[in-house]
Amino acid sequence: MVVNGSFAVDELSASGSTATVIVGVGRILGKIDSDMKFIPRSSDAIKQGILFTLIRNQEIGADGKTLKDAGPAQWKIDTKANDNVVWLNLDTAIRYVTEIGNKTTVASTARNIKETLVTLGRYR
């Protein structure tokens, strides 16, 4: 998914080793499919949000102290709960599509990349 605009993270809830956060973005522009075609998302919303479930890689013992073998505390996106969607800002999406375009030898993919770059460029 390609997003544009400002970003903000708000914690909705946390309990033990899981948390739910919402990432507010200016606008979700659309997605780039496996054929490198940009598919715009139709929405007139001024600001949109993405809900993520986070998990902490540390476990807390019954005594309330971190277990030594758990490693350093880190919050990670729970990929099982979040559809494995890759979220890119506009500049990163353009860079990604350009890099793929420099490597492709498939004419239809090259054509899709050219159209996608033109479309994404209009959002700048």
How much is the pLDDT for 119?
97
**How are beta strands 18-32 and 38-40 bridged, if at all?**
antiparallel
Distance CA 104, CA 102 (A): 6
CA pair distance 120, 99, nearest whole angstrom: 15
| pLDDT at 86 > cutoff 60 | yes
Mean pLDDT of 27-48: 89
Share of the chain above pLDDT 70, in %: 86
> Comparing 95 with 74, which gets the higher pLDDT?
95
Q: What is the mean pLDDT of residues 7-34?
A: 88
Q: Where are the domains of the chain?
A: 2-121
